Structure 1
């Protein structure tokens, strides 16, 4: 490569999709709501660069790559990495060491706020949101023209919260009490509750499969877990506690506090996934609640060759309108990579009905559930006895303030080819069309899951419960088939897949109504596990552990020739 001209001398261009909306800040001490950020404070950003070659996304789910093949074709473009490193040197930014830099297509740069402002053409401000101080920016990022096309996103200049957890704690419930066989479902003042194992039984999860040999990755943007709670919970349901490992991303930590915090999300995710796939290992990737942290956690999990998750569960998100285009494209690209490598990603579709909590009254899809490269998981109200489903309808408790399943049509991502026959409603903008969710499961807090959080037993629902439920099911399917299911969306939308679901035809989430086939409330429906596992290449009966072939018998030893008797000396 020829010697590069100084990037600092290039004219500036806007990084496409980097426009950031103004923040609403409130000062609680009478000081100005926003002020310039400290010029000497340090910040680290993630610069995402283009691939060597674009992925053929229409082939995802049908073709996959080994890691070596992927690295050769679709990892970071080396010239783009060189340009970013030259840019960093010219603007006094430090390139952080990262052995997965090329695979993740992410170059992390650290510098002062003053240097970052010069490098990226932004003004960084300090403001207060809900009593907490944050570093924010408005408007667009600009780069030297020579970087446009090589750099696809710059994340981390703004560290305001990006997403919310999608779990709901039941408001009124009788105390959950352990019975002879562990915690039992019980009628409370507001409904019925189940252990995750009982929900799995209702959906036909095979009792003989456990997800042994699989690793379920869980992305968390806050909260934490206590090992003592995990041990006590699994003892109460008669299971061996799972192997749970915490991985720090961008300084995120396992930081449990109290039952009213994001700990509820973390414990719900771990306890549901591990209970329905009791043989699987659980790896929790803790990261800050920023667009940078969210995306870095996904790329870290996808490229984690130590823990090797075959399925990743995400229970955090926010309306598409709350994301920058560059952030959505970067996160979707990470999910494309997962699909190409055979890693399934399950994502909660939101808990605020068709509006996704946006006050404009319009319908909004939740992201990252609206990414066309994840399995978006909606919510139902389940009434089941053992393995019999008595009724199942759309989760909608908005009248009592207890939420409703998210679902709708993306205004960002177009209709995928595999969803073209699903009769997805038309988007409100020409560029959209992807329908959400794909699948569903029990989520109503009034038919919720008995969960232990920080020493307390609660009943929790939300689509946050459905993402780990499906992650556990995928892990079980992977064990039974002997291979990872990977990106399953094309397979489950095929006509032959209809029997793999319990079709939900009653209820609504505000703007959309359930009906036969796919709908924007519960997708294709809740799982009929035996049929679904068979569809994904496994078997619908209890797997048989293969036995080792008998050892070949050793050939018989050749008989030794008889010893010749020694001649006796003659007697004198």
Structure 2
């Protein structure tokens, strides 16, 4: 099968990576910007060419102008956005240990700087080193081998940096396996998922890409059905609407929220992120553990975590197509060169999927697809406000008490829901 998946942008005949970037240093991945970008401008980018039958990254990049009216350069002296302490505080995971369990990240193409950028991120936040040398980090191709690796791609590299950093932030004690598929086609990506699931120690696999449903997805579902391995998938960054593999009956579909500090007992408040995907699948049957009545088939999402770029997360990524000079940074800030060169603030359900996969790893429970949170709702913060589009006001696009499409059952309150 040659269906291509894109990081989390749901698009006609494409599957997109779920990555959204917002930063005081600006960044972009596709030539799509002009020098007159305003503070609210949004640049859509793909982690690979968006052609028919492609899966790709869910990505939007928000560029901000400096006070003098010029676009700010990409790099900053240190982390921006929410960091590990924020996530661990908001989701009550601080001080927990994964006891050596491994989270696998499946993406397409190679990020040549993955391990080096990960080291900078973890060092900046005082997290323990996670390297090939100490056995914490491993990067392999879709067949589980160290070489040959796929061709490098700046858009997918930014997605990879986000995924690795979110695992590190949520679960500093987790080991990380990065599996790089040869291309954003469905077959290579699903081969990578099978490789991850068959690797000893892997208890959770994150997939931050997706695309429009079609009649081929049910056959591809077999690659997502692995006993006692939690497989998460981003719900998308284009608002109300369903993408696959989030719609698969064998995954935990992860929606998105806006996360802000508050003076309440929790110290945080959350609402629906308007960009998160949700809805009723046209093809996937309803799993036995899902009981909402407004959709006869599989409903997206199951749970959620922070995804709004306006309340985004700090990520460190340096792989681009022009180098490290100030002129290169300027071209990146204009969207004329693909990639990044330092700290950026990132959002999208590309962030929420690896966060939830990491919570599964911290919990360490045997899971059957996405069923566990449905019988452990006390371990979730219910998200009751906001919407992600127009669906006649139903729960499929409107948050409310209990289950709803955009945020599912809610966000982690410790690990007991996972």
Normalising by structure 2, we get a TM-score of 0.72
- Deviation of 1:20 after TM superposition, in Å, equals 8.7
- 1:415 matched to which residue of 2? 286
Residue in structure 2 matched with residue 392 of structure 1 by the alignment:
270
Deviations 1:280-311 (A, max 9, x none): 21111111211211111111211224xx3111
CA gap of 1:237–1:508, structure 2 versus 1, over 3 A, is same
Q: Does 1:246 align with 2:139?
A: yes
Q: Is the 8 A contact 1:504 1:516 kept in 2?
A: yes
Task: Name the structure 2 match of 1:352.
Answer: 238
The offset of 1:216, in angstroms, is 0.8
Alignment pair present for 1:426 and 2:295: yes
Aligned pairs for 1:322-337 within 5 A: 324-325=215-216, 328-336=217-225
Q: Name the counterpart of 1:366.
A: 243
Corresponding residue for residue 294 of structure 1? 189
* Distance across 1 between alignment mates of 2:361 and 2:383: 24
Tell me the secondary structure at the aligned position of residue 202 of structure 2: coil
Q: Show structure 1 runs of 4+ deviating over 4 A.
A: 18-21, 173-177, 254-258
SS of 2:163 mapped into structure 1: helix
**Residue 415 of structure 2 corresponds to residue 508 of structure 1:** no
Distance (whole Å) between structure 1 residues aligned to residue 128 and residue 342 of structure 2: 20
In structure 1, what is the equivalent of residue 300 of structure 2? 436
Q: Distance in 1 between matches of 2:148 and 2:243?
A: 24
Relative contact order higher in (CA < 8 Å, ≥ 6 apart): 2
**How has the CA–CA distance of structure 1 residues 255 and 235 changed in structure 2, closer, same or farther, with 3 Å as cutoff?**
farther
Partner deviation per Cα, 1:51-102 (whole Å, 9 max, x = no partner): xxxxxxxxxxxxxxxxxxxxxxxxxxxxxxxxxxxxxxxxxxxxxxxxxxxx
**Structure 1 residue 472 displacement after superposition:** 1.1
In structure 1, list runs of 5 or more residues that go unmatched: 1-17, 22-129, 135-158, 186-192, 355-363, 397-403, 428-432, 479-483, 537-572
Q: Structure 1 residues 170 and 210, CA, compared in 2 at 3 Å: closer, same or farther? A: farther
Distance (whole Å) between structure 1 residues aligned to residue 98 and residue 186 of structure 2? 31
Q: What is the correspondence of 1:449-464 to structure 2 with a 5 Å cutoff?
A: 449-454=313-318, 455-464=341-350
Equivalent pair of 1:160/1:290 in contact (CA under 8 Å): no
- Checking the alignment, whether the CA contact within 8 Å between 2:210 and 2:243 is kept in structure 1 is yes
The SS at the match of 2:416 is helix
**When you count helix as a share of all residues, which structure comes out higher?**
1
For the aligned residue pairs, the C-alpha RMSD in angstroms reads 2.8
Aligned-partner Cα distance in 2 for 1:274–1:474: 14
Task: Return 5+ residue gaps in structure 2 as ranges.
Answer: 5-45, 67-74, 131-135, 319-340, 391-396
The 1-side partners of 2:87 and 2:117 are apart by: 21
Is 1:214 the counterpart of 2:96? The answer is no
TM-score w.r.t. length of structure 1:
0.53
Q: Does 1:164 align with 2:56?
A: yes
Native 8 Å contact 2:250 2:369 kept in 1 = no
Equivalent residues, number: 329
| Cα deviation, residue 485, structure 1 | 2.9
State the distance in 1 between where 2:2 and 2:56 align.
21
Quick one: distance in 1 between partners of 2:260 and 2:148?
38
1:271 aligns with 2:148: no
Give the direction of change, closer, same or farther, for the CA distance of 1:133–1:194 in structure 2 (3 Å limit): closer
Equivalences for 1:515-554 in 2 at 5 Å?
515-529=400-414, 533-536=415-418
Where does residue 466 of structure 1 map in the other structure? 352
Q: Distance in 2 between matches of 1:391 and 1:166?
A: 25
Q: Distance in 1 between matches of 2:49 and 2:350?
A: 28
Question: Closer, same or farther in 2 for the Cα pair 1:20/1:312, shift >3 Å?
Answer: closer
